[in-house]
Chains A and B, each alone.
Chain A
């Protein structure tokens, strides 16, 4: 096997057995339409020997996919837990036959009612400081805010394939995947095939969320089962799917006579769907975003995970930090409204120079974050527009003035928490060979540009001027599991790990006999807090709802970001732009032809920690957008994503009430 690069995509040129498509089985999946149902009848047409149906009972091993200690059935057996769950796979000589035969399959289901399975969910995570005041003497002004995000669960209309074939004692899987080891584990569990003999060939992929984390492993297990049963290469073709959990954050705050918050409680409820993957980590990430940046005498935060018969949400690009950060930013703007000032001026009034040190995020200097905020406020004329919109809204009332501007600012984090890093133990190994080359054994393979930068950074530290002497080993049975490529950890926290390993290897290479290897953690296990902050940003967002179509459009985004190290400015800018655009679109915004993103990116050169650009940009966009939509659409249209239908409904209700 060898690898090559093309258009920024790493390609593993799999030793794909040269089988003809005519000698292959093509599989498609039957997905559930609703959750919380029982399969009362599954009627299959007469199928000859060229067809194969695989249900939950046909897997030779366990019908489960395990993920950080929690599991989910690969295929629904008697009960359907969530819409889009796989009910069966049908393999045929070609996709046309499979499609036509699938339409002959009769599936009858009945609602389960209240009998839904109890999910094993973690306890509510709580964190806080100070003694809380109950405001019994009415000394403080009490107010509540409510932030909601509706679940997003949809197909991305992009086909991908997972192929399995046998070659002697080896089972080959070809799939786009964000975690090769999960595929090997799942296939081993489902088929009993020894993990050592399962070889994964990674197909190029672009993941906007985490589409290639769980689905490819599920499909691989099913395709491998079909291959074992038929002795033929088997392929499954399906669309990508992603799901963001439903989130609600309720805050209760006591304000002093200057409208400054003094005591605050924040209760976040997250519905992760039918199965919760990594809920404890979700709680930690969310708590980090939930802690406000301003000083408080007392704070109580809680993150509660619930379940419902809805598609399972897992990472979705942020694992809760972005959503929680957006909720905090939304909350600050509501407090500013109460104080009768603009959100920017209000922030300047309540935020101190340094943030409080907590178990989740260090007490960093707020200076850089404030500079970002000032920059977007100036560029967007935020204060003027915010005030004008507020006055106009009061003047025109219903359906008269549909413009809004919102702002958000915050700090970036990246990767998994310190607690999870200690529990998991993902590794990589760097070796200085006798030929004075450096080899790296890792399952983490990412884009060409990142790999190129990694090679340069490593070579600079050990073999200056010879990046070609840094080699990433091909995937094989001995590849070390570096963990999933999610939360931008491979381009952010892993970079730091590689740097540190290179520094240490540079020292020990002169003291020990070659080849000398260094096995290192692929996580940030040494941080004092759960997360290390890095990178700051602010975003302002201008929206307008079209009176005729009721479609909300975003006209301008102003963003200012500061990162400690910028490895590749063009990639960074593109990544920011893409994340902003994607967040706007997935939250129901129309992007008109005149839409512009005005970005100001700077480097502060303070330290070497690199943050996840996506988590930060996503959270800030979501926060700024929520604030802008709140101003434009009023009290009824408060949850994102929002559709024209919902805005129409909201205005109808508002009109009705008035």
Chain B
């Protein structure tokens, strides 16, 4: 079937099987082999993307569900100001995800920072989807909290200038 969607700011018309998972679409059709994995049901959590701004596991999103939707992968998110906030939080805490889960964890951090979630249990539950064992829970909580502070400061500065 023909699917019209926007992936990383590009409006595309893709000819695809309607039930093809978005993770495979991104790997096969847009060549995103670096930041999106497809683990075939092993729940690795390494395929997150933003669909209309909401973080999702792309292996669970079938092609027909992205019709008319805006998909943002880490490839384009990494250039955004929001990612800069997260990078600052990594730097400030002195801990960062390994390259394997960098994309996925960063996108989940973004969703937590965006929603302003500070409850440790909620933070860790949300991040528990990423099975990569490279970060310890305490750092994850600190990164989110620090990220929220950094984001708030940036928003305050922006509103002052506006």
Contact = CB atoms under 8 A, between A and B. Distances in A.
Are any A and B Cβ atoms less than 8 Å apart in their complex?
A: yes
Interface of A: 7-9, 21, 94-96, 157-161, 203-204, 206, 208, 570, 573-574, 577-578, 581-582, 584-585, 591, 593-597
B109 interface: no
A582 B134 CA distance: 7
A355 B35 CA distance: 47
Contacts of A7: 78, 99, 102
B44 A158 contact: yes
B98 A206 contact: yes
B94 A573 contact: yes
Given A157-B39, A581-B133, A581-B134, A96 B17 contact: yes
A491 to B, nearest CB: 15
Contacts, number: 75
Contacts of B135: 577-578, 581
A203 B137 CA distance: 30
B120 interface: yes
B124 interface: yes
A157 B134 contact: no
A369 to B, nearest CB: 25
A570 B91 CA distance: 9
8 contacts: A158-B46, A159-B37, A160-B33, A206-B99, A578-B134, A591-B136, A594-B137, A595-B137
Interface in B103-162: 120-121, 124, 133-139
A416 to B, nearest CB: 25
B95 A206 contact: no
B99 A204 contact: yes
B99 A161 contact: no
B100 interface: yes
Contact of A578 (B44, B98, B120, B121): B98
Nearest to B91: A570
B146 to A, nearest CB: 15
Contacts of A161: 33
Contacts of A208: 100
Interface of B: 17, 24, 27-29, 31, 33-34, 37-40, 42, 44, 46, 78, 94-96, 98-100, 102, 120-121, 124, 133-139
Given A157-B40, A574-B96, A204 B134 contact: no
Contact of A157 (B37, B102, B120): B37
Nearest to A26: B28
A593 B124 contact: yes
Contacts of B31: 21
Nearest to B134: A578
A582 B27 CA distance: 27
Contacts of B96: 574
Contacts of B46: 158
Contacts of A206: 98-100
Contacts of A595: 136-137
Contacts of A203: 33
B12 to A, nearest CB: 14
A50 to B, nearest CB: 17
A160 B37 CA distance: 9
Contacts of A95: 24, 28
Nearest to A207: B100
B37 A9 contact: no
Nearest to A96: B17
Nearest to A581: B133
Contacts of B99: 7-9, 204, 206
The 7 closest A-B pairs by CB, nearest first: A157-B39, A581-B133, A157-B42, A585-B133, A206-B100, A206-B99, A578-B134
Nearest to A11: B34
Contacts of B134: 574, 577-578, 581-582
A570 B94 contact: yes
A208 B24 CA distance: 24
A96 B120 CA distance: 42
B18 to A, nearest CB: 13
Contacts of B95: 570, 573-574, 577
Which among A159, A206, A578 has the greatest number of chain B C-beta atoms within 10 A? A159
Given A7-B99, A157-B44, A597 B34 contact: no
B94 A204 contact: no
Contacts of A160: 33
A208 B78 CA distance: 24
A573 B31 CA distance: 34
Among A94, A584, A597, chain B packs the most CB atoms within 10 A around the CB of: A597
Contacts of B17: 96
Given A204-B34, A206-B100, A573-B94, A596 B39 contact: no
A582 B133 contact: yes
Contacts of B137: 591, 593-596
